[in-house]
Structure 1
Amino acid sequence: MIKEAIAKVVQKENLTEKEAIDVMTEIMTGQATESQIASFITALRMKGETIDEITGCAKVMREHSTKIKVLKHAVDIDRDEINIDWETIVDTCGTGGDKTKTFNVSTATAFVVAGAGVVVAKHGNRAVSSKCGSADVLEELGINLELPSEKVEECINKIGIGFLYAPLLHSAMKFAIGPRRQIGIRTIFNILGPLTNPAGANAQVLGVYSADLTETVAFVLKNLGSKSAYVVHGIDAIDEISITGKTQISELKNGVIKTYTVKPEDFGLKKAKVDDIAGGDAKENAGIILDILSGKKGPKRDIVLLNAAAVLTAAGKSESFKEGIELAERSIDLGKALKKLEELKKHCGK
């Protein structure tokens, strides 16, 4: 199937969702060669990935991932055990590949959101767009990435936050690692990572590296069953909600998708320069996150507050971004966000 798909995509023809499923199944089961995988993902990138193609590939990746079973408490509904107090799980994850070398905004955001009382299943990997990915900085902060899935489940269920390290939970991705490294460009796999949370997170703020992707990814999330999401792209190619200027947002709510732009001034935040939110290596970024969680004010805190507000709104914890910012401020200022990091280190530390 992959040979036929390559021939079709090279001619700028789109694949159906079923064809995408068939191709990705060949990739995930080791039936495709590295040359075929590299050719396919390169041709797909040049053509431009469609909603059906991304949806089909995401479904296969989800099927082949190691599932994280969370929310096992209290109530049994249709054979799924769901704790009625914790029925919304959120993921803060981006596609990487932005050009601004920001610090790990979504990782800091995860602790702030957890401190505000929302369960977080943080899904991520090592560096893509910077010197330091979420896995790199969490490791620097003392979190053990090499945990069995049962231990990750325990962390999420016990303390309300856990880190899902993509290489351990997406073992079938091993067949695509070589081709991705060898071609060295962004591909559909950058988009798929945030769409394939092994804990089945149904509320997300997902950052993408191009404004052209916000609506596309929002429709994919709808196809995959997400109930609430913000797909965002900030000015200066930031895959977060930006405080340096405008951010394009495609919002999924109640099955309806709408796209609009926001700016930091809309929420009472000061506009910043790109250098104000820049990061560095894992050690530097870990220090930045600790500063933010310890209450240090400034642009780096502001961008975390804004992104946390979006997650809290997607999760239904707040009615608006402005209310979400207030909740995020309390999470930090009352020490709750930092406490979540300390608890995660205690239960999932090295």
Structure 2
Amino acid sequence: MNDKDQLSSSIPKLKLGYDIPKDELSCCIREITQETVSFQKKKDFLKALAQKGETYEEFSIFIREFRKMAIDPELQDFAPNAIDLCGTGGDKAHSFNISTFVSFIVASAGVPVIKHGNRSISSKCGSADLIEAIGIPLNPPVEMIRECMKSLNYTFLFAPHFHPAFKHIAPVRKALAEEGIITIFNLLGPTINPAKPAYQLLGVFDPNYLAKIGQALTSNNVKAGLVVHGKVNDSNIGGVDELTACGENQVFGIGELAMKQIERWQPERWQVKNGDFSDLGGGDIAENLQIMRSLLKGNAPDSLRNTVLVNASTALWVQGKCASLEEGIELADSLLINGNVEQWLGKVSDFFK
């Protein structure tokens, strides 16, 4: 059966609750990225898959196929030592861009960071919005991406530029979102960094996806990493797509850090106090830049600063820069206190002048 026939065959199976074979799913994925395939057929497929419930094998195949379709940023010589820090979004917490700011700390420590992200979808300021605000262009040529890695240990890959296949799925995703249906595309973005960095710290908005995504990333050769979800002390929010110092964190390991089951890590594991989630709130670009400055100057709320340190230390440990979370906390703290992160941001400004 050719690709153009596959969706018609697979949708009824999904509606009956059956998983579909790997080769069939690969064909379906290629088909939904085609402009010539009908809106309704794409919608029926994604809705049926969501209602059946995606397996980790299905996540794995989606990751593999969309990585294949992505534009290559030509960073193969950097990827073996690089880390990506990203969340799925969708937690409706409207918090500060924690993973983005943490990526600056990690780069200032000399660790290669290949960050993959997009503009805001559910908040006022997404990772790409903050990245652009500090002076990093979103669509630089490949040569500049490589020079940025060499000079700054950092580059940002703007998802819409590197994943043109998403263009033909966007209207369907929007329609399903309006119906309140969460599809695999609500979680896929952080897993398909086109540079394929070896290390990853990935946050999810729903803990039910921790193991599925962790196993899928392990099967797609992520060397080491964690998939995380934060349970916070705020009755209006079920949880967030990152680690916090404001409640229990659920963690599942990837690759060399693979775990048999989800672990629960309290803030005390990082030797920080349990804080108040309301201190993590973000705003628009101007407000988030102001919050960033407060972190650099040392006058941010303790809960926010500790949450930043928790994430930075974990990333430094995952990548192997630090031997323990405690060592990671000490390094991240010193980078902020001694002005290394602020100096690094100055280098960013100079580089892109």
* Residue number in structure 2 paired with 1:251: 253
Query: Does the CA contact (< 8 Å) of 1:34 and 1:179 recur in 2?
Result: yes
Give the root-mean-square deviation of aligned CA atoms. 1.8
**Per-residue Cα deviation, 1:143-175 (whole angstroms, up to 9, x for no partner):** 221323332222122210111100011111111
Match of 1:305 among 309, 317, 334: 309
State the alpha-carbon separation in 1 of the partners of residues 31 and 164 from structure 2.
14
Change (3 A) 1:149 1:296: farther
State how 1:139-150 maps to structure 2 within 5 Å: 139-150=132-143
State how 1:315-334 maps to structure 2 within 5 Å: 315-334=319-338
Query: Does the CA contact (< 8 Å) of 1:105 and 1:304 recur in 2?
Result: yes
Match of 2:217 among 221, 227, 231: 221
Query: Does the CA contact (< 8 Å) of 2:277 and 2:303 recur in 1?
Result: no
2:193 aligned counterpart, secondary structure = coil
Q: Which runs of 4+ in 1 moved over 4 A?
A: none
* Residue number in structure 1 paired with 2:234: none
Match of 2:104 among 111, 134, 138: 111
Amino acid at match of 2:59: I
* Residue number in structure 2 paired with 1:241: 243
State the alpha-carbon separation in 1 of the partners of residues 9 and 257 from structure 2.
34
Match of 2:173 among 177, 180, 185: 180
**Stretches of structure 2 lacking an aligned partner (at least 5 in a row):** 1-5, 232-237
State the alpha-carbon separation in 2 of the partners of residues 19 and 274 from structure 1.
44
* Residue number in structure 2 paired with 1:156: 149
TM-score (normalizing by structure 1): 0.91
* Residue number in structure 2 paired with 1:46: 51
Change (3 A) 1:345 1:67: farther
Amino acid at match of 1:220: A
State how 1:30-109 maps to structure 2 within 5 Å: 30-70=35-75, 82=77, 87-109=80-102
1:257 aligned counterpart, secondary structure = coil
Q: CA deviation at 1:330?
A: 1.7
1:256 aligned counterpart, secondary structure = coil
State the alpha-carbon separation in 1 of the partners of residues 150 and 285 from structure 2.
27
Change (3 A) 1:7 1:293: farther
Match of 2:190 among 190, 194, 216: 194
Q: Please say which of residues 240-249 and 176-185 is displaced more in the overlay.
A: 176-185
* Residue number in structure 2 paired with 1:267: 270
Query: Does the CA contact (< 8 Å) of 1:203 and 1:226 recur in 2?
Result: yes
Q: CA deviation at 1:282?
A: 1.8
Length, aligned pairs only: 337
Q: CA deviation at 1:23?
A: 1.1
Query: Does the CA contact (< 8 Å) of 2:246 and 2:303 recur in 1?
Result: no
* Residue number in structure 2 paired with 1:76: none
* Residue number in structure 1 paired with 2:10: 5
1:261 aligned counterpart, secondary structure = strand
State the alpha-carbon separation in 1 of the partners of residues 158 and 45 from structure 2.
26
State the alpha-carbon separation in 1 of the partners of residues 221 and 57 from structure 2.
14
Q: Please say which of residues 297-306 and 202-211 is displaced more in the overlay.
A: 297-306
State the alpha-carbon separation in 2 of the partners of residues 97 and 106 from structure 1.
14
* Residue number in structure 2 paired with 1:286: 289
* Residue number in structure 2 paired with 1:230: 226
Q: Share of identical aligned residues, percent? A: 35
Amino acid at match of 1:328: A
Amino acid at match of 1:268: Q
1:328 aligned counterpart, secondary structure = helix
Q: CA deviation at 1:348?
A: 4.0
Amino acid at match of 1:243: A
Query: Does the CA contact (< 8 Å) of 1:94 and 1:208 recur in 2?
Result: yes
Query: Does the CA contact (< 8 Å) of 1:28 and 1:64 recur in 2?
Result: no
2:169 aligned counterpart, secondary structure = helix
* Residue number in structure 1 paired with 2:26: 21
State the alpha-carbon separation in 2 of the partners of residues 290 and 67 from structure 1.
34
**Stretches of structure 1 lacking an aligned partner (at least 5 in a row):** 72-81
Q: CA deviation at 1:343?
A: 2.4
State the alpha-carbon separation in 2 of the partners of residues 3 and 210 from structure 1.
31
State the alpha-carbon separation in 1 of the partners of residues 258 and 97 from structure 2.
30
State the alpha-carbon separation in 1 of the partners of residues 41 and 343 from structure 2.
47
Query: Does the CA contact (< 8 Å) of 1:120 and 1:160 recur in 2?
Result: yes
State the alpha-carbon separation in 2 of the partners of residues 283 and 348 from structure 1.
20
State the alpha-carbon separation in 1 of the partners of residues 328 and 265 from structure 2.
15
Query: Does the CA contact (< 8 Å) of 1:111 and 1:338 recur in 2?
Result: no
Amino acid at match of 2:113: V
State the alpha-carbon separation in 2 of the partners of residues 164 and 253 from structure 1.
23
Change (3 A) 1:183 1:253: closer
1:102 aligned counterpart, secondary structure = coil
Query: Does the CA contact (< 8 Å) of 1:121 and 1:161 recur in 2?
Result: yes
